[in-house]
Amino acid sequence: MASHVLAVLIATLPVFIIVLLGVGLRKWNIIDKSVDTGITKLLLNVVMPCFILYNIIGSAVASDIGKVSLLAAIGAGIIVCSLGITYAISPFLGMGKGSGRRSFSVATGLQNYGYMAVPLIMSLYADSELLATLFLHSLGVELAIFTVGIMIFSGKISFSPKVLLKGPVIAVFLGVFLNVTQLATHIPDPLVTSISWLGATAVPLGLIAVGMSIGEVLPETKYSLKVSFSAIFIRLILLPAFIISIAYLLPVDDMIKKVLLIQAAMPAALFPIILARHYGGKPALVAEVAIMTSIASFVTMPLVIVAGTWLLGF
């Protein structure tokens, strides 16, 4: 058990180091906020789609339409339930209308499903099929957060088909199409290499961007024991128990259960800090949730993974 806990800590440490680098780059004004829009567009439209596409092409799980649909449905379903649970509980924690209920609900209900989960899976399992499984699960997460999540943030019931035109979503659909039609085997090697090189920058660049976003809101963040402890309890205790229970009960293979276990152990996502700025949320509150759960996850993440591994039997 001790070795497993240490392995998880070692796997997550580079993530926190690179995020802290981003914080420092913004704090010391080495990279100012004028480049944020360009970096975000580069991430969402180029490097992250390339990373996803490279890992999906040729994947067995991403060649099975049934599994693709199942994983997307699981990803979306768990996020919608997590957002609903958090939204329902938040008034009892003192966060009603006008006091951050919507921002707290999205910030706490959404786990760090990509930038932290990817390197952790790569380090713990070293299985490319697991990465493809994660991205198919993330397809559902993306669809849920850019529909239900934004509805909660904005307080308006709406749906835009533009969510289907997001770079990561297009990359998943394209990768599955290439696999199913077997066109993936005809992609020229130089193009595959270019996609690989661009994709290799996705995780570090994304973590730096997240760190800079944290650095931007740190001066305006006012920490509250109520918000911090509520977020830690819900995101790192209650929701992990919920997600692992779902993984235990679902009649799915171990690959899907491993992805769900990693998702259960994640702290709050950092990306909602950016969303809060665009959809009328409270960026400082979202940042507090992300920062405090990320710090606390140093302790909880190894414990959740070890306990979940034992409970799920792998």
pLDDT, tens digit (0-9, with 9 covering 90-100), for 185-236: 899 999 999 999 999 998 889 888 878 877 877 776 777 888 899 999 999 9
Q: How far from the centroid of its chain's Cα atoms is residue 5's Cα?
A: 21
Q: Mapping DSSP to helix (H, G, I), strand (E, B) and coil, where does residue 111 land?
A: strand
Label residue 5 exposed, middle or buried (CB < 10 Å: 0-12, 13-18, 19+).
Answer: middle
Rounded Cα gap, residues 96 and 110, in angstroms: 19
Q: What is the largest CA-CA distance in the chain?
A: 57
pLDDT, tens digit (0-9, with 9 covering 90-100), for 244-300: 999 999 999 999 999 999 999 999 987 787 777 777 778 888 889 988 998 898 889
Place of tokens 């799915």: 252
Rounded Cα gap, residues 212 and 65, in angstroms: 38
- pTM, whole model, 2 decimals? 0.85
Please give the domain boundaries of the chain with CATH numbers for all domains. 2-312 (1.20.1530.20)
Residue 287, CA atoms < 13 Å, CB-side half-sphere:
20
The H-or-E segment that residue 304 falls in is helix 283-312
Rg value, the chain, Cα: 19
CB 168 within 8 A of CB 142: yes
Of the listed ranges 29-38, 63-72, 93-102, the one predicted with least confidence = 93-102
pLDDT at 99: 67
CB 244 within 8 A of CB 280: no
pLDDT at 159: 64
CA proximity to 209, closest of 41, 15, 39, 28? 39
Residue 268 DSSP code: B
The DSSP secondary structure of 57-95, one letter per residue, reads TT-SGGG-HHHHHHHHHHHHHHHHHHHHHHHHHGGGGT-
End-to-end CA distance of the chain: 13
pLDDT, tens digit (0-9, with 9 covering 90-100), for 151-192: 887 777 666 666 667 788 899 999 999 999 999 989 999 999
Tokens read off for 50:
């390339």
Place of tokens 């969510």: 163
pLDDT, tens digit (0-9, with 9 covering 90-100), for 115-135: 778 878 877 787 778 999 999
Rounded Cα gap, residues 196 and 213, in angstroms: 26
